[in-house]
Amino acid sequence: MDASPIDVMKELISNGIMASINQQIDYDTAAIVVDGMGFEARPVSAPETEAAEAQADVPQWRRLYADEDPSSMVPRPPVVTVLGHVDHGKTSLLDVIRKTHVQEGEAGGITQHIGAYQVTLDDRTITFLDTPGHEAFTAMRSRGAQGADIAVLVVAADDGVMPTTREALAHARAARVPIVVALNKIDRPNANPDRVKQQLADVGLKTDEWGGDTLVVPVSAKTEEGIDDLLEAILLVADETDIRANPHHTAAGTVLEGRMESGRGPVATLLVQNGTLRTGDIVVAGVAYGRIKGMFDPLGKQVKEAGPSRPVTVMGLDEPPHAGDMFEVIKGIKEARVIVQERRDTRQAEEARPAAGFSLEDVFERFKAGETKELLIIVKVDVDGSLEPVVTSIENLATSDLKVRVLHADVGEITENDVNLASASDAVILGFNVEVDPMAARLAEGKGVDVRTYDIIYKLIESVELALHGMLEPEYADKAIGVAEVRRVIRVPRVGNIAGSYILEGIARRNAKARVVRSGKVLAENLGVSSLKRFEDDVREVRTDFECGIRLDGFNDFEEGDRIEFYVRERVN
């Protein structure tokens, strides 16, 4: 409408509404005001929800560029993350790239580790995130951010594709970032590039030498051989990927690091992804906000502005933001405060609620609600031989509407990394003949990640199939919680027999189910516990090595030496 807020407020006042500048008004009021100013109001809530639905599976970071006119977008430096198996040389590569290609400038300042640095090659710039490994990358993604445009997968030429290589690959693929392979340690006498290229081809990264579309660059972080080739390969992929931003927009991007520094207060490293950040700008970063007082580049040099793909350290926020939070520039400090207060409130409310992740039973409902179009699965199996059949059978289950994508499939137990990947990608984890690492199980519970294990392939396939058709019912199984031994039978006229018992192990619970076992044979089961007493007192539970009196619903013929087993029904799959 091109009207100033003052005019709108005047119109409101003339209609008897004393509104402040950032007050929300309802549609009817807005319609009257708009009409008074010579416009016609029409509600747009319906298309709005459609747009929201269409955006449901668009990660938050994509919205950075959502309202940009393509003509205002110009190429920006690619942002690169380095992933790979431990000890394959991620850190060494990042160090040697920094050492050989960072222009230290006249100041000759010592480069600082601020979570990222920029290098130049033939007048072109590349931004490297210098926290290697996919943990940082995944943490970012689980907050809706995406720091990197390209992933460099480091594979040691003398060691080959290892479990974490495959894991890192799954993370890069889940994030849909293109991959360049750095075949490192080619200086080693036992390096075997061809063998590793074959392994790479087996995981879907066929080198372009063999007609594939992955650039596999032999390098050595030790002799510095091939480093330029690697940077060139990155630039080549960047050119194909169309990495752009609008430098004239107000700035927005991702927090790479946040920390307290003595003498400087809260300090944050921000990666500008769109627009240009300037000192004096008011920034909201996750639940932190403030006016940027000082801004420094990775060489520690003070700068006044930072354009797209530029990492900078800033001072002036009221608290250190979290890595992976998104930041944006806001017009006024009051507005920033309101946004942050709202976020702090929501975050608090969310923390009070248990985590609700994505479960296999949900997929169909979510699909019907238009929230998802595919089921993402992570598969872990016990032996190599089962991998192929499980993955193929799962992928063949896709229906015409609902796709199935196996994000990651590997041999071995279910680990924390699997859970993190699932959590960041809204995937479920299916295990065949494998254990769940206890830490992973705890993490999954906290994050609400659905982890299921099976010992029959058919059962695993069947639950995916049922889930895809919205017919998966939860399954229950009995879980033993304690065993009592009957030491003495006390006969009480009119009441029945009480089993004077001793808890051998676990716990006896009043609200559990019980079965009676004599000489290994089950006499009765699914019995309710009608009373559980310590001396004269009714109790809810009795623990190991304590005596108690037990009466069961529908069973009276106790004998000394009988075992009473207590169990509960638990949801398993």
Which residues bind to ligand GDP, rule: CB under 6 A?
84, 86-92, 132, 184-185, 187-188, 220-222
The alpha carbon of 534 is separated from its chain's Cα centroid by a whole number of angstroms, namely 48
Q: Smallest distance from the beta carbon of 99 to ligand GDP, in angstroms?
A: 13
- The Cα–Cα gap between 185 and 133 comes to 18
Is the Cβ of residue 223 or residue 346 nearer to ligand GDP in the bound state?
223
Pick 157 or 483: Cβ nearer ligand GDP: 157
Q: Which is nearer to ligand GDP, 16 or 189 (CB)?
A: 189
Q: How many angstroms separate the CA atoms of 562 and 514, rounded? A: 12
Question: SS3 for 383-413, per residue?
Answer: CHHHHHHHHHHHHCCCCCCCEEEEEEEEECC
Between residues 87 and 395, which has the closer beta carbon with respect to ligand GDP? 87
Query: Which residue, 187 or 416, is less far from ligand GDP as judged by CB?
Result: 187
For residue 110, give the 3-state DSSP assignment: coil
| Minimal distance, residue 218 CB to ligand GDP, in Å | 10
Residue 217 Cβ, how far from ligand GDP at the closest point, in Å? 12
From the CB of 534, what's the least distance to ligand GDP, in Å? 57
Token readout for 481 is 């919680």
Smallest distance from ligand GDP to CB 379, Å: 26
Q: Whose Cβ is closer to ligand GDP: residue 154's or residue 429's?
A: 154
Burial class (CB in 10 A: 0-12, 13-18, 19+), 233: buried
Least separation, in Å, of the C-beta of 87 and ligand GDP? 4
Q: Which is nearer to ligand GDP, 187 or 305 (CB)?
A: 187
Alpha-carbon span 302 to 282, nearest angstrom: 18
Query: How far is Cα 562 from Cα 397, in angstroms, rounded to an integer?
Result: 49
Shortest spacing between CB 94 and ligand GDP, in angstroms: 8
Helix, strand or coil for residue 367?
A: helix
Q: Are 562 and 501 in contact (CB under 8 A)?
A: no
Structure tokens at 496: 């029945």
CB of 152 to ligand GDP, least distance (A): 11
Nearest distance from C-beta of residue 184 to ligand GDP, angstroms: 5
DSSP-assigned letters across all residues of 505-564: EEEEETTSEEEEEETTEEEEEEEEEEEEEETTEE-SEEETT-EEEEEETTB----TT-EE
Secondary structure percentages of the chain, helix, strand, coil, to 5: 30, 35, 35
End-to-end Cα separation, the chain, in angstroms: 56
Q: Give the Cα separation of 554 and 573 in Å (integer).
A: 31
**404, 374 contact by CB (below 8 A):** yes
Which of residues 169 and 251 has its CB atom nearest to ligand GDP in the complex? 169
Which H or E run contains 285? Answer: strand 282-285
CB of 168 to ligand GDP, least distance (A): 10
User: Is the CB of 159 or the CB of 450 nearer to ligand GDP?
Assistant: 159
Query: Nearer Cβ to ligand GDP, position 132 or 160?
Result: 132
Nearer to ligand GDP, 132 or 500 (CB): 132
- Residue 82 CB, nearest approach to ligand GDP (Å): 8
Nearest to 192 by CA among 218, 223, 166: 218
Phi first, then psi, for residue 125 (nearest 5°) are -110, 145
